Structure 1
């Protein structure tokens, strides 16, 4: 995504999911050396407190994504949204693996809000990035190094070069635009579908922006 690149959702998808609430942050000057443990701790504590009351499958944020996955013809317990997968892992292990400081912050906030957060290396995105139904001829690079073709009508994050930067909407990101030690420019996308999504996504964005500002400066919308 060059300076002229845009991020948007296909109007057809918005008609299918009119309750969708979205927040974005663009951050320049990212580094991989920050110690974010003090920033992530409060969010992990919030997630742990929620999980102590009920399993993640009963969270309204997760239930809404499960309904969306069913609406898309996917089995929700086979394909989980990113925040459900994180919560499940955190509930079972009691910790999150350190990946990259920025990703660690995003994952902690995602856990606290139970809302999926995707992070893309903008220098790996060609032109515009749109969340849309796949044509079926897109290219997806898995973390194992395999190249996959999304199913026709599957919801993907597609750029102008036909790269699918995420499959099954909020299920799995591509290795192509994953954050690396040398990543400098990122786009962060949060998406929610539950009843309080519009309000919660703004609170999430503010919390995330504040945490990021402590380490890398304040990003733009």
Structure 2
């Protein structure tokens, strides 16, 4: 399969820096507690200095949401939502070891991290603007249709695997107990994004190798001149 951003996304958001990790052999019994504590501590130290809305990584996504026509305090990118909840509750609910790990890394870097079950993706996956007829399945099982022009993660069957770009992931490709093959995507737009996304993808690759010995993770940082990840 291939993952890429449509040319219009690169045109409209030239500061975008995506990172991609593909891993197989995921199970729901990995001992991620120590890793979670490490990344949660980093997030705590950042939030001790400023609120999530003052963090450059989050501010960049707020500007992007405004450019998409969304009120940024109504529709927040995934990392801001996580940071907001973590600041208020001092913890996050445990869901699945891989989701817990990716949420913790997202907290520490303040960058959205999406995890997709590859078995639920039909063909290639592309970040593009919606035509308006794509189907998005909520976590409660309801079906929605993204508005025409909305930025989504779309596969070749017309399934939308996210809404409002990094705002809300679909339940259709969410990680479950039977998931073994995943695509992990992170995207940033702030000034130091090229270096930070490289550090984030390297950190995830190291954690995946350490915690899931069956995995053989591959990763890449994409750009406008090298926009495609093939795996």
Same fold (TM over 0.5): yes
Report the equivalent of 2:10. Answer: 14
CA apart distance, 1:211? 1.1
In structure 1, the residue matched to 2:182 is 186
SS at match of 2:57: helix
Aligned match of 2:156: 160
Q: Residues 59-79 of structure 1: CA distance to partner in whole angstroms, max 9, x if unpaired?
A: 000000000000000000000
Residue 41 of structure 1, CA deviation: 1.0
Q: 1:150 aligns with which of 128, 135, 146?
A: 146
Aligned-partner SS, 1:47: helix
**1:204 aligned counterpart, secondary structure:** helix
What is the CA-CA distance between 1:11 and the residue it aligns to?
0.7
Counterpart of 2:28 in structure 1 is 32
Q: What does residue 226 of structure 2 align with?
A: none
TM-score normalised by structure 2 residue count: 0.93
CA distance in 1, matches of 2:51, 2:23: 33
User: Residues 69-124 of structure 1: CA distance to partner in whole angstroms, max 9, x if unpaired?
Assistant: 00000000000000000000000000011010001110000000000000000000
How do residues 49-198 of structure 1 correspond to structure 2 at under 5 angstroms? 49-198=45-194
Partner of 1:220: 218
Task: Tell me how far 1:218 sits from its aligned partner.
Answer: 4.0
RMSD, matched Cα: 0.6
Tell me, yes or no, if the aligned pair for 1:21 and 1:198 is still in contact at 8 Å: yes
**TM-score, normalising length: structure 1:** 0.97
